[in-house]
């Protein structure tokens, strides 16, 4: 077959089937191979006025289809942006009722429950952790529900004449197992999108229950590192490329219009807020590197907290207490509260010889005069 015959074959196939993919399939070859042959044939035959017109008409049709497709995607993308970013138009501000002492006089203080490192969707094989822990979607759901139930029980039934202005639910990230490591992608029990839907549903039910018991719920929220959509940690658009942020926005949207439930969701890594006279900075903690030396997590936490405190002072946003998760260890320090995890002990902890810790979450009360008091761990 001459070159001219071959060229005609490719041109005729494209004209007949109307797309590169269909023409390539009809000729039994890869799309990229057909594409290469077709463009060579087009270039060789453009000296023929009739062929040139046919080529231009075909390209015109192809371009029109592409423009139509892109326009459809643009409309769809805009609808998604309008829906997701609807509540992100203004800078996050705590509601007026957060941080103020009750005019009725006596108060026990603002209770704060920290939720972090849920790692929903991940699987922990008990045979790989000496039988110390097991984790899957069913257990993750049960532990989260236990955490909420026990928090209400501790605050309502184990305090003397408790009086609370509301409850603070500090969401500190890593709600999902994520797909940042190949081993997680291979072993997670559910894909990330169904996990997002599940976590949103669980959070909505939990906040409803907390509102039933404490009337007001204030939820400051920050992203973690496991829920990111980028392979490597990002600096720009960090929150907007993280499923934690999407989860928070979806839950916030559900409660829009409810004046007793308020969210504080930043577009960055940290959020600052006050309860009475105590100033908090909430972060996930993945900015703090290290934690495998003989000092364990204490060295990176102490070093990182000092750097963050100095930086916060330079941009006139000082804080009294840093709240964080990430290290899966419950620690009440003088200037820092480090949350544990719902997931509990896992294969990574065993491989790095980290000490065993049961799954639990931080619960504490902030008093208008005495600051942070009644430090507890809620065993899930």
Please give the model's pTM, rounded to 2 decimal places.
Answer: 0.74
Reported as a single tens digit per residue, the pLDDT across 74-122 is 554 455 555 555 544 445 567 777 766 555 557 899 999 999 999 999 9
Helix (H) or strand (E) holding 95: none
Give me 22's structure tokens: 């269909």
Of the candidates 111, 124, 109, 112, the residue with the CA atom closest to the CA atom of residue 328: 124
Which carries the bigger pLDDT value, residue 94 or residue 53? 94
Q: What does the pLDDT read at residue 231?
A: 78
Per-residue model confidence as pLDDT tens digits over 211-229? 999 999 999 999 998 888 8
Q: What is the pLDDT of residues 123-136, one digit of tens each?
A: 999 999 999 999 99
Output Rg (C-alpha) for the chain, integer angstroms: 28
> Tell me: the pLDDT tens digits for 252-283?
999 998 999 999 999 888 999 999 999 999 99
pLDDT top residue among 266 and 4: 266
Using an 8 Å Cβ cutoff, are 351 and 343 in contact? no
Extract the tokens encoding 332: 């009440």
In a 13 Å sphere around the CA of 163, the CA atoms on its Cβ side amount to 10
Secondary-structure class of domain 99-379 per CATH: alpha beta
Domain assignments of the chain as residue spans, ordered by start: 3-81, 99-379
Nearest residue to 116 via CA among 201, 195, 178, 173: 173
Angstrom CA distances, 5 to 41, 45, 251, stand at 10, 11, 62
Predicted confidence band at 60 (pLDDT cuts at 50, 70, 90)?
Answer: low
Out of 28-42, 43-57, 213-227, 299-313, least confident range: 43-57
Per-residue pLDDT tens over the stretch 149-184: 999 999 999 999 999 999 999 999 999 988 777 888
């Amino acid at each position: 077959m001459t070159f001219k015959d071959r060229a005609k074959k490719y041109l005729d196939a494209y004209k007949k089937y109307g797309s590169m993919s269909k023409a390539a399939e009809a000729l039994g070859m890869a799309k990229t191979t057909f594409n290469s042959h077709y463009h060579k044939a087009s270039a060789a035959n453009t000296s023929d006025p009739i062929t040139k017109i046919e080529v231009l008409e075909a390209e015109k049709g192809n371009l029109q289809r592409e423009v139509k497709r892109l326009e459809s995607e643009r409309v769809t993308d805009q609808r998604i942006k309008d829906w997701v970013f609807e509540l992100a138009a203004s800078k996050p501000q705590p509601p007026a009722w957060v941080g103020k002492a009750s005019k009725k006089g006596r108060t026990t203080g603002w209770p704060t429950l920290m939720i972090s490192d849920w790692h929903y969707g991940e699987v922990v094989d008990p045979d790989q952790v000496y039988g110390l822990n097991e984790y899957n979607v069913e257990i993750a759901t049960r532990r989260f529900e236990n955490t909420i139930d026990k928090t209400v029980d501790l605050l309502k039934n184990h305090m003397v004449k408790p009086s609370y202005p509301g409850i603070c639910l500090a969401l500190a990230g890593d709600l999902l197992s994520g797909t940042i490591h190949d081993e997680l992608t291979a072993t997670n029990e559910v894909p990330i999108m169904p996990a997002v839907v599940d976590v949103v549903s669980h959070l909505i039910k939990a906040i409803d229950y907390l509102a039933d018991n404490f009337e007001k719920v204030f939820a400051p929220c920050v992203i973690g590192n496991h829920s990111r959509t980028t392979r490597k940690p990002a600096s720009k658009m960090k929150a907007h490329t993280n499923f934690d942020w999407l989860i928070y926005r979806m839950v916030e949207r559900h409660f829009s219009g409810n004046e007793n439930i308020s969210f504080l969701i930043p577009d960055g890594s940290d959020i600052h807020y006050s309860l009475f006279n105590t100033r908090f900075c909430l972060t996930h903690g993945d900015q703090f590197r290290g934690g495998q030396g003989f000092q364990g997590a204490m060295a990176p936490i102490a070093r990182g907290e000092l750097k963050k405190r100095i930086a916060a002072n330079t941009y006139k946003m000082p804080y009294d207490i840093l709240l964080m998760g990430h290290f899966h260890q419950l620690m009440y320090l003088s200037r820092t509260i480090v949350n544990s995890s719902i997931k509990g002990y896992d294969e990574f902890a065993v491989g790095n010889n980290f000490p065993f810790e049961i799954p639990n979450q931080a619960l504490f009360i902030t008093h208008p005069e005495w600051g942070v008091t009644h430090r507890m761990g809620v065993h899930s």
